[in-house]
């Protein structure tokens, strides 16, 4: 069942054309890798999906709704969630504060004054979301900044989950992680999939993309240049599509660079 | 974490030991509390010296404290309250302004502590309204000091002299500066009407500002004959400006305070005169009079400590008996 | 992938409790207790009810300003105009009551309103004209002080109506009114900062503006409210001092912004935002108050007091950094 359908998406900034008619579809519960060289238009494409950019032409249909005229807040309510590379975490606040930032459950202080945070409930719900992700954090009450990169990623994903998303877009979630933590994040992505949540994974780390995705879409010069089933492709094919056509020597070089 | 605890303990111990050594003698009955504006000024330093010598001669115990600056009104009030905890028999206070110490002085009075206005910063009308009765006030008569400046100027230039005169006041609104400026202007008008005060501007006790004012007025009144500044710092600023303009011989400059910089400048023949206050004498007499008052003797309500005009002649001759109190 | 941290022992547990429930670091509280103990040993006058009230009274104005500093610095901002606005507010209140003859409640309200107005201007300039907070509030420092001198003609405005004086000098149950007002303000400010949505958003904002924005917090509006609140608190401090000395003093609060910031920092507020609590700040203010009071009782010159407070500031931040680094080295 198709969740997201993009067709003929065009976007230019002044004289610079970034997207020249991108077609892309994502199924419910599908993990799609989005790869491409720097400047291929990955970020722009994702921001047109979340609504930060408005596409110049084309259509975006999400879960049966035309989302093109909707603003980012409305799209988020429909279930499109994005986790940026910087995670947008408030590093000195604790886990629950980050997960519920801006949407804290409130109660009345002494039954009189509104606008006070129901911290117990917030902690409880935060803990249950972390548990649902199968993750484990040192303490729910410690500042997020004292956590490792992978643990922070967990918090960011947990926050995304509280919006009940149908699609989570992740921008380079493994780029800054220690090797032993990468597996943990990939496990989280699989967990999302198992809950029926679709994921678009943007990454330069092709090993990770190959390990966790169902399908890989290669973006090149503002077009979806290739659409490969992960099970039937290989590292070298992906690399060659990224750098363009059958230039295998360049592909080998790119691969070496990792 | 264990070493951290140990660290705090070590720090505590060190601090404790250091302070135990630094701790002064514990208070005894009959102490005088002396509260000054600040000690970061030779004027108050000299007064503190006077207090010390006076207390030694009179055989009384005192403790002296001062705020961190002469504008720290609330810190001085807090300090005053703290001093009351030591239960002095008298509080000799130089308030930063006419109201900042009121609640403390009231509390002192209620506790039966004698209150003395050191250097005349309190306002009698305000004291009456607050119901505070001070034992006495002691200090220089600022109006008289200004007048003495005018006396000197007229004596030097003559009764029939004509020409523009500049007055540099203190911080705008400050009573001390105003009284000196007023005293000067009034006496000058009386003695030599030909000498006209063409400008009376606030120099904010600031040497640089006084120099700028002097420059500006010299531009407007190139024939300026005299400058009266409400303190020595500003007078010395005026000296610099006047000499830079090459008019050192034409303009007579008078300051107030008699501080060491001014004395030096007078000896060098640059500053013409300074109406010296005798803060040492003020401090000394304050303690002496408190002792008298506690002993039940009557004390004048308003003790004016004389001021002395310092000139090159006076300093060089060195015969003036009061010179020993110029610090 | 994630390991349970091997933090154990009483100290660690106590620490975690302190951070979780009281939003303070235990060290500052220990320093306060130890300092008080030292003073009690050194001076026979230190341990008395009247001296205790003295300390609170002396801390009241700075304490209220430090609350403002904690909110603004916690949000990643800065308000250098606190002391000047305090001076302006006292003069404004005294002017309204004495020169214009307004009734006492209006005179008292005028203090807070004058402060809030100055803070509102700060907030508008910072969020709408995009001038950095440092510059805007530095400008306001001069503007407010100058205006206070202009309104008062450089003199103290003496002679408030009795009700206003009571706010500063009254002692219901033997407790000075400024202390009562200060303590109530601190409790309310603590609850709001630690437990309300507004307070948590304030800290999140100072932590990461982009995270706050992404979470849908109206960042500019929040900042405007914070600066206005900061000004209003400065106005409250101005009111307390004005009422205490029965006059509006245009030079009141000179350099207090720095003292207030010092108290907040000693209390554990992160100078760059994102962390801080009112309880911590109050401990910071009391550490300074106890130090000053104790040294005053010992008749130590004010110069040494300034040195001592400077040293405590550096020591507090050192301990803080030590702890933060320890925590992040997990």
Is A71 in a helix, a strand, or coil? coil
Q: Which pLDDT tens digits describe chain B residue by residue (327 residues)?
A: 444 444 444 455 455 444 444 444 444 458 999 999 988 777 888 899 999 999 999 999 999 999 988 889 999 999 999 999 999 999 999 999 889 999 999 999 999 999 999 988 898 999 999 999 999 999 989 999 999 999 999 999 999 999 999 999 988 767 788 899 999 999 999 999 999 999 999 898 889 999 999 999 999 999 999 999 999 999 999 999 999 999 999 999 999 988 888 999 999 999 999 999 899 999 999 999 999 999 999 999 999 999 999 999 999 888 777 787 776
- C294 vs C326, residue with greater confidence: C294
Q: For residue C258, what are its two tokens?
A: 């720095």
Q: Cβ distance B131 to B233 under 8 Å?
A: no
- At C45-100, the pLDDT tens digits run 899 999 999 999 999 999 999 999 999 999 999 999 999 999 999 999 999 999 99
pLDDT in the model for residue B112:
95
Q: Cβ distance C78 to C53 under 8 Å?
A: no
Chain A residues with CB-CB distance to C327 below 8 A:
142-143, 146
- At B96-140, the pLDDT tens digits run 988 999 999 999 999 999 999 998 889 899 999 999 999 999 998
Rounded to a whole number, what is the distance in Å from the CA of C11 to chain B's nearest CA?
7
ipTM: 0.82
Interface test with C, best of B16, B51, B75, B101 (most C CBs within 10 A): B75
CA proximity to B301, closest of B143, B142, B146, B139: B139
A41 has pLDDT over 80:
yes
- At A42-97, the pLDDT tens digits run 888 999 999 888 899 999 999 999 998 888 888 988 999 999 888 889 988 999 99
pLDDT in the model for residue B133:
95
| Neighbouring-strand partners of residue C63 | none
Q: Name the pLDDT band for A254 (thresholds 50, 70, 90).
A: low
Whether residues A91 and C207 touch (CB distance < 8 A) is answered with yes
Chains B and C touching, counted as 3 or more CB pairs less than 8 Å apart: yes
CA proximity to B276, closest of B303, B252, B304, B256: B256
* HEC sequence for B174-238: CHHHHHHHHHHHHHHHHHCCCEEEEEEEECCCCHHHHHHHHHHHHHHCCCCCEEEECCHHHHHHH
A112 has pLDDT over 90:
no
pLDDT in the model for residue C304:
84
C328 has pLDDT over 80:
no
- At C238-263, the pLDDT tens digits run 999 999 999 999 999 999 999 999 99
Q: For residue B12, what are its two tokens?
A: 């505590």
pLDDT in the model for residue B22:
46
How many Cβ contacts (< 8 angstroms) between chains B and C? Answer: 132
Q: Name the pLDDT band for A247 (thresholds 50, 70, 90).
A: low
Chain A residues with CB-CB distance to C203 below 8 A:
90, 92-93
Whether residues C302 and B126 touch (CB distance < 8 A) is answered with no
pLDDT in the model for residue B2:
44
What burial class does residue B78 get, using C-beta atoms within 10 Å of its C-beta: 0-12 exposed, 13-18 middle, 19+ buried? Answer: buried
Whether residues C216 and A98 touch (CB distance < 8 A) is answered with no
Is A52 in a helix, a strand, or coil? coil
The Cα–Cα gap between C126 and C133 comes to: 6
A256 has pLDDT over 70:
no
Question: Taking all residues of chain C, what is their mean pLDDT, rounded to a whole number?
Answer: 89
- At A206-239, the pLDDT tens digits run 999 999 999 999 998 888 888 999 999 999 999 9
Q: Name the pLDDT band for A245 (thresholds 50, 70, 90).
A: low
């Amino acid at each position: 069942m198709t969740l997201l359908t993009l067709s003929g998406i065009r976007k230019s900034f002044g004289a610079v054309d970034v997207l020249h008619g991108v077609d892309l579809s994502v199924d419910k519960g599908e993990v799609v890798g989005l790869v491409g060289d720097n400047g291929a238009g990955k970020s722009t494409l994702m921001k047109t999906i979340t609504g930060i950019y408005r596409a110049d032409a084309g259509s975006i249909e999400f879960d049966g709704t035309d989302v093109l005229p909707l603003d980012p807040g409305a799209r988020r309510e429909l279930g499109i969630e994005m986790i940026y590379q910087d995670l947008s975490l408030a590093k000195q606040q604790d886990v629950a504060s980050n997960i519920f930032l801006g949407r804290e459950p409130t109660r009345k202080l002494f039954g009189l004054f509104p606008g006070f945070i129901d911290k117990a409930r917030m902690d409880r719900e935060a803990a249950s979301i972390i548990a649902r992700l199968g993750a484990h954090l040192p303490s729910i009450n410690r500042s997020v900044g004292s956590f490792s990169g992978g643990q922070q990623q967990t918090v960011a994903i947990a926050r995304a989950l509280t919006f009940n998303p149908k699609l989570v877009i992740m921008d380079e979630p493994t780029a800054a992680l220690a090797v032993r933590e990468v597996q943990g994040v990939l496990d989280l992505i699989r967990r999302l999939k198992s809950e029926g949540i679709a994921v678009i994974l943007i990454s330069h780390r092709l090993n990770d993309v190959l390990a966790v995705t169902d399908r890989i879409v290669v973006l090149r010069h503002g077009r979806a240049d290739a659409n490969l089933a992960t099970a039937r492709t290989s590292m070298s094919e992906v690399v060659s599509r990224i750098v363009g056509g059958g230039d295998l020597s360049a592909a080998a070089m790119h691969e070496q660079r990792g | 974490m264990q070493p951290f605890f140990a660290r705090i303990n070590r720090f505590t111990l060190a601090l404790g030991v250091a302070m135990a050594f630094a701790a002064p003698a514990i208070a005894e009955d009959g102490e005088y509390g002396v509260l000054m504006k600040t000690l970061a000024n030779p004027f108050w330093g000299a007064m503190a010296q006077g207090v010390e010598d006076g207390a030694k001669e009179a055989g009384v115990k005192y403790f002296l404290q001062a705020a961190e600056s002469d504008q720290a009104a609330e810190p001085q009030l807090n300090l005053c309250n703290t001093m009351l905890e030591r239960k002095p028999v008298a509080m000799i206070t130089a308030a930063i302004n006419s109201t900042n110490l009121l609640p403390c002085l009231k509390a002192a009075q209620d506790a039966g502590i004698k209150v003395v206005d050191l250097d005349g910063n309190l306002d009698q009308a305000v004291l009456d309204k607050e119901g505070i009765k001070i034992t006495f006030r002691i200090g220089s008569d600022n109006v008289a000091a200004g007048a003495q400046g005018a006396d000197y100027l007229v004596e030097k230039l003559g009764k029939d002299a004509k020409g523009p005169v500049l007055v540099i006041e203190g911080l705008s609104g400050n009573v001390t500066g105003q009284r000196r400026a007023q005293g000067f202007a009034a006496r000058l008008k009386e003695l030599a009407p030909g000498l006209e005060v063409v400008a009376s501007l606030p120099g904010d006790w600031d040497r640089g500002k006084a120099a700028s004012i002097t420059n500006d007025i010299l531009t407007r009144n190139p024939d300026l004959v005299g400058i009266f500044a409400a303190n020595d710092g500003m007078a010395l600023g005026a000296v610099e400006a006047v000499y830079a303009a090459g008019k050192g011989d034409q303009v007579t400059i008078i300051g107030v305070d008699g501080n060491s910089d001014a004395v030096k400048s007078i000896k060098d023949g640059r500053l013409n005169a300074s109406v010296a206050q005798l803060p040492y004498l003020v401090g000394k007499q304050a303690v002496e009079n408190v002792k008298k008052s506690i002993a039940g003797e009557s004390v004048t309500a308003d003790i004016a400590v004389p001021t002395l005009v310092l000139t090159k002649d006076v300093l060089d001759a060195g015969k003036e008996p009061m010179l020993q109190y110029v610090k | 992938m994630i390991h349970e941290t091997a933090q154990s022992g009483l100290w660690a547990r106590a620490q975690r409790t302190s951070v979780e429930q009281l939003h303070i670091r235990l060290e500052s509280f220990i320093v306060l207790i130890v300092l008080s103990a030292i003073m009690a040993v050194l001076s026979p006058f230190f341990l008395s009810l009247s001296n205790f009230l003295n300390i609170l009274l002396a801390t009241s104005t700075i304490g209220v300003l430090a609350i403002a500093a904690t909110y603004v610095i916690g949000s990643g901002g800065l308000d250098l105009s606190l002391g000047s606005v305090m001076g302006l507010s006292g003069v404004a209140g005294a002017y309204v009551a004495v020169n214009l003859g307004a009734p006492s409640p209006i005179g008292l309200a005028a203090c807070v309103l004058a402060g809030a107005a100055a803070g509102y201007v700060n907030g508008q300039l910072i969020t709408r004209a995009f001038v950095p907070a440092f510059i805007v509030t530095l400008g306001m420092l001069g503007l407010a002080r100058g205006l206070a001198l202009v309104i008062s003609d450089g003199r103290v405005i003496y002679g408030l109506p009795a009700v206003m004086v009571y706010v500063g000098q009254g002692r219901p149950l033997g407790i000075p009114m400024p202390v009562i007002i200060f303590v109530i303000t601190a409790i309310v400010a603590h609850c709001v900062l630690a437990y309300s949505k507004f307070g948590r958003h304030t800290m999140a904002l100072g932590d990461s503006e982009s995270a706050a924005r992404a979470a849908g917090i109206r960042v500019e509006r929040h900042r405007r409210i914070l600066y206005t609140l900061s000004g209003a608190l400065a106005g409250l401090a101005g009111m307390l001092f004005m009422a205490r000395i029965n006059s509006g003093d245009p030079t009141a609060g000179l350099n207090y912004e720095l003292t207030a910031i010092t108290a907040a920092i000693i209390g554990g507020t992160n100078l760059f935002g994102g962390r801080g609590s009112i309880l911590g700040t109050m401990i910071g203010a009391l550490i300074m108050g106890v130090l000053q009071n104790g040294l005053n009782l010992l008749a130590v010159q004010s110069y040494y007091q300034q040195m001592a407070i400077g040293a405590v500031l550096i020591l507090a931040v050192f301990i803080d950094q030590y702890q933060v680094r320890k925590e992040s080295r997990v």
